[in-house]
Structure 1
């Protein structure tokens, strides 16, 4: 596995990161361009706050964890300055998008802009102890908690009281975000918070009858037999399980790590396309026709987050299924998503595994899932095994 770890390391440092440092900087207005074509040319200049925050986090984290390269810190500071100046409304909510110059375009309907702003400024504070960054991260996190039960607020399209659903994505992200911000929030607050988000992810959204993880449940946690209630997103569930394994490591809870590993493997087996390979984007719990027309596409982040999950599952539990699946998903991912001619990776494939779009970044794809996964797999495979040396393999 050392050779594979080196492969991920080299791809991160020699291919993917240079692409973003060379092409995403907006030297004139600050912040980052994310709409980049196959060769890195900017094809749209709108700026999306959640992607700005993600890129600030990425370069801050790399500066902190890998090497204190000045260019990485400069990238993080460039994005943070733009976000601080242009990213929020009067109530402190983060816009979804702005113009190149920073004029608001789309209202702060999407709480994930706030999640990644908090994550970005929290990571930046580790490498540049500016109290402003600490305050932004803390205030944003507290605002997320205030909004969490009604994240879209006045921007929601749903009629109140008819079919009130809650979504898996926010508690899933909070599992990771709480650890990312522990130096901001304090260990005591994180310790109080962890059981709540763990309960949401591992009990409320976990569908015991099938062993799968639902994307939406009714407000009381029960199943909704509707398009939204039957919706499965294998990538989301699998990504969440490596977040849970990180929490298990922090809590020294090998049973929790094993449970997360088992759930993630179940989702992967269910979501794998037996005909063409790769993992479906969306599925229906009862195999009914789906409302998402892109249900059978193969997306970059789904496969990369699965590789992180499998690496952590193998490292923490020693489950041989993780190693077998890692080899299978690794082969598919590197054969289909990695661009053999130009840097960075394709994001969107059709069911057969052919690129649908030549872009390397856009409204939804930025400097995040590819480099984070490369970093995580590299780091994980270089570590010595953890829990499974304590004889918890099942």
Structure 2
């Protein structure tokens, strides 16, 4: 696939989205009776294994449906824009009605009918601030596309509550609990994405708090680039709250897909705020993630690697997160690869550096050889695979089949290529 043939490339991604991905989700992922969305399918996409509704996934689906509606209205997709926006609206209504707790936080897990469930008996309902983050993102995108000022205010209020909880140190972060005494890159990373999207929506509305949110975006970007970005171009996932990083698995491991996703957040914000040095460092971090994270034997990006490449090493502490790293480090997952498609393409278009074109093309070949279901009538991707690319039945994060990364990155690629076509 010629990376500089923008029209052919855009056609490829549009067709894959419309023929392979969307039929599955628009036919099987919508709960037409109770509202909101089904996402608890098995890895093959053959069985709905639960009708539970993880709030994390509900917020993500709202974002996707709203953005797909906008693309359809703009002629970049051949879908029913009104139906898509109505499906997003139904998700907003379901989450608003059922997911919010008395303290303003979001419950992590609901049943099909919206009843709140404890994911871990006795540990409460708001076990992950990530659920609140994805509700904020979903509500923000719906509000922007639908021009709904009331939903935008809901998103803003929820975001500011998350910010306050982070400052107070009162967040929980299942399914990735941060070990005691550590700071996690995942927190400023997700908050950069939340605040940059909310800031843009507020700016579009001429909202008086838009500048405040843009300042928050800058602060979270600064935390990533001045705290977690390392002099060698790697991005640390966990660092001790004080002192030097010990030579442990927790501090030595790198998550290539997370790095690439985080860096395209940084690239977009750095471009918007004129931070050229951070933009350069972000592209360097993408290249470094490939240097240590690409499997030279079988292809694809490892889930976790040591900072020098290969299986994560260092002293073991017995932390729960450490076991996850060591047990799943060599799996090949859908989400790092869809993020890598967009991240490398964006880096290439921003820099013109042919090395990013090469990384993108290598990733494109691997992704479309490995992840799409071999029977397109059954649709979607087989998302979770072992090192050799064979499907495996394993829960990754939530026990769901998640369309967010695939659809979001296909959408972003289509939009990026449209920008390039407009400038050609």
TM-score, L = length of structure 2: 0.83
Question: Aligned in 2, Cα 1:157/1:299: closer, same or farther, shift over 3 Å?
Answer: closer
Q: Matched residues in 2 for 1:163 and 1:86: separation? A: 32
Q: Unaligned 5+ residue runs, structure 2?
A: 74-79, 119-124, 315-321
TM-aligned CA deviation for residue 196 of structure 1: 1.3
Question: Aligned in 2, Cα 1:131/1:355: closer, same or farther, shift over 3 Å?
Answer: same
1:342-357 → structure 2 map (5 Å cutoff): 342-357=378-393
Secondary structure of the structure 2 residue equivalent to 1:207? coil
Q: Matched residues in 2 for 1:345 and 1:9: separation? A: 16
Summarize deviations over 1:30-73 as a string: whole Å, max 9, x none. 11100124355422111100100000011112222442711211
TM-aligned CA deviation for residue 92 of structure 1: 1.1
TM-aligned CA deviation for residue 361 of structure 1: 12
Summarize deviations over 1:245-269 as a string: whole Å, max 9, x none. 1112212444432221111111111
Q: Matched residues in 2 for 1:5 and 1:130: separation? A: 30
Aligned position for 2:265 = 243
Aligned position for 1:275 = 297
Q: Matched residues in 1 for 2:306 and 2:171: separation? A: 25
Summarize deviations over 1:173-226 as a string: whole Å, max 9, x none. 122222211123643113322331122111201122x32111111224852433
Q: Say whether residues 1:140 and 2:172 are aligned partners.
A: no
* 4+ residue runs over 4 A deviation: 153-159, 358-362
Q: Unaligned 5+ residue runs, structure 1?
A: 390-394
TM-aligned CA deviation for residue 270 of structure 1: 0.7
Aligned pair partner of 2:37 in 24, 32, 35: 32
Q: Say whether residues 1:301 and 2:335 are aligned partners.
A: yes
Aligned pair partner of 2:19 in 14, 36, 51: 14
Question: Aligned in 2, Cα 1:302/1:132: closer, same or farther, shift over 3 Å?
Answer: same
Secondary structure of the structure 1 residue equivalent to 2:151? helix
Aligned-pair Cα RMSD in Å: 2.9
Aligned position for 1:171 = 188
TM-aligned CA deviation for residue 121 of structure 1: 0.7
Q: Say whether residues 1:191 and 2:208 are aligned partners.
A: no
Q: Matched residues in 2 for 1:201 and 1:96: separation? A: 26
Contact 2:88 2:142 in 1 (8 A): yes
Contact 1:87 1:94 in 2 (8 A): yes
Aligned position for 2:116 = 104
Moved more, 235-244 or 213-222: 213-222
Aligned position for 1:259 = 281
TM-score, L = length of structure 1: 0.90
1:336-375 → structure 2 map (5 Å cutoff): 336-341=370-375, 342-357=378-393, 363-375=399-411
TM-aligned CA deviation for residue 367 of structure 1: 2.7
Aligned position for 2:323 = 291
Q: Say whether residues 1:63 and 2:69 are aligned partners.
A: yes
